[in-house]
Structure 1
């Protein structure tokens, strides 16, 4: 039986689609908390040009599309009465659209959660329009007086037990941004020289993006086009590969201080982690037997770390970073 402060509550949920995580949050709110949820993508379309224009702050080039999209949302929600408006890491939503939503839903509690740093998202000007603002980035939390709320792992990554011998010593499944390609290539070459088995998957949304980055972002190394996939792995495929791997690789964005989703997925699956994010030392689940921090500018992988077993932690720690616990904190449920 569902026992939750969110039981029967109506929630309007807006966020950019992001590898299916938005649907996991929606389904948990419905199935685990008994809420009624209406979900809308923050972006009017996920075609490559719309995403590029929005991320490069060239929204004027798709203004008509954005306006038409949000007008349709306004038309739908004007007949609804929501208890909560949850916005997660918006890219398209502006003060103009948010003011209209607030005028249509004056009784609702407005919540903003950022799973990206404000350096990477142009959303800082929105925070005063929300009743509760949370971030995964402790620097942003301290600077802007927000609530600190790390990311989570979903049920799909919880206690996934692998049977038999591991297929891979290390797996890396990532979107190719910043210096990730360079770092992954160095790690792969270093470990393969020591006969470790590596699974590497680098995703880019389109071949156009590959060529733009290769030509114009010369400070980053982008190898051959065959080194990248232009179709993302399904979550089931990601879980399958991770379950067959001893260790998971995480390379955070250089401008990002908070811990990535991959970090918590590895934690939920009881996997060892190699990461470039030194900030992980501040977290209560940090254990040097399970987590190896590397310098992205001088990569050295300790083979001893690769060969030692995972050390299990307390049940309470694993529960603390679950999706359900994350939702309770986001909605300030007791």
Structure 2
């Protein structure tokens, strides 16, 4: 069987799908739009000139053509999976459709955040992690997946009580400052890493305003994807804050599952899942007044094996590509 994955794999989650398919003996390849780069500094300069003076991003258009060039090289596929198809022009989707009998989409962002309705007719099956979108558009429901190897809590020695890593976001920073104030009387060891180009402003502010400087860490470069488990192993609990207009579960929920970490989250939809256990997962109320010290002190309660497997990448690829049928 030949399967092709097409995605803009900025955070390097999607590459695990191809690896898992290869492990199953499937001829799988990945057209990673995000990996496309300029051939030389001359092309890079040309693209900069075009964006500034002509308002046209040449790199964007070359990335679109890169998809077609890659498909021409690998030929017809038994199945193609496109993740977050809104990043791809409709003319490209028309061509992708010609290369397979089963064209699949997976949306791990909400339709409210990334409109995709104009592309849905190109797909045989559309999966979504967002409950509202599943209800409103009739998509197939599937969550993100646990791609990490299982590591029980007993084999870890975390130094932090709570950890959070996030991209730069003003709303989240406001929430975090409120949360820090609530946690202070509990004497909780809390650390936040905020990564993104705009973080330099906060780094500058912290030179003059050192409030919460031991908790809030700002960096302009993203944390490499392969380094995330290192940070998560060093904490008892992982914080997870929702994006606006989104009810789907982030990858943090499943990374925490693999490492037996508790979760503090503001997404009430988590209560609807079979892995929800109030001993392991605390859903914040509006004023964060339900955070108590004993949540951090009580041990993680192990999930049943059947529930754990349901959210693994192995089960995810079997479901998406119908490998068990």
Q: 2:91 aligns with which of 85, 89, 96?
A: 96
Who is 1:219 aligned against? none
Cα deviation for residue 14 of structure 1 reads 1.2
Residue 177 (1) aligns with residue 196 (2): no
Match of 2:190 in 1: 198
For residues 202-221 of structure 1, what are the structure 2 equivalents within 5 Å? Answer: 202-204=194-196, 206-207=197-198
Kindly report which structure 2 residues correspond to 1:1-334, keeping only aligned pairs within 5 A, or say none: 9-41=1-33, 61-62=55-56, 64-79=58-73, 80-103=75-98, 105=99, 107-156=100-149, 158-161=150-153, 163=155, 165-177=157-169, 179-204=171-196, 206-207=197-198, 227-295=217-285, 297-300=286-289, 301-334=291-324
Aligned residues: 297
Compute the RMSD of aligned alpha carbons: 2.6
Query: 3-state DSSP class of the match of 1:155?
Result: coil
Deviation at 1:75, TM superposition (A): 3.1
For the 8 Å contact 2:147–2:255, the answer to whether it is kept is yes
CA distance in structure 2 between the aligned counterparts of 1:181 and 1:124, rounded to whole angstroms:
32
Q: CA deviation at 1:66?
A: 3.0
Change (3 A) 1:18 1:38: closer
CA pair 22-293 structure 1, distance change in 2 beyond 3 A:
same
- Contact kept, 8 Å, 1:84 with 1:108, in 2: the verdict is yes
Q: Distance in 2 between matches of 1:45 and 1:141?
A: 35
Contact kept? 1:136, 1:258, Cα under 8 Å: yes
Distance 2:93 2:14 in 1: 20
- Offset, 1:192: 3.3
CA–CA distance in structure 1, aligned partners of residues 152 and 177 of structure 2: 28
Output the CA distance in 2 between the equivalents of 1:288 and 1:72: 47
1:213-243, Cα deviation, whole Å (9 max, x unpaired): xxxxxxxxxx99x852111222343212211
User: What is the Cα deviation at residue 326 of structure 1?
Assistant: 0.9
Q: CA deviation at 1:125?
A: 1.5
Change (3 A) 1:172 1:35: same
- Contact 2:108–2:129 (CA<8 Å) still a contact in 1? yes
Deviation at 1:111?
0.4
Sort the Cα spacing of 1:13 and 1:61 in 2 relative to 1 into closer, same or farther, 3 A: farther
CA contact (8 A) 1:112 1:134 kept: yes
Consecutive unaligned residues of structure 2, counting only runs of 5 or more, are: 39-43, 45-53, 202-211
* In 2, Cα distance between equivalents of 1:325 and 1:202: 32
User: Secondary structure of the residue that 2:20 maps to in structure 1?
Assistant: helix
Deviation at 1:267, TM superposition (A): 1.6
**Cα separation, 2, equivalents of 1:166 and 1:101:** 46
1:219-277 deviation line (CA, Å, top 9, x unaligned): xxxx99x8521112223432122112111100011211111110111122111110000
TM-score of the aligned structures, taking structure 2 as reference length: 0.83
Which residues of structure 1 form unaligned runs of 5+? 1-8, 51-59, 212-222
Secondary structure in structure 2 of the residue aligned to 1:39: strand
Q: What secondary structure sits across from 2:164 in the alignment? A: strand
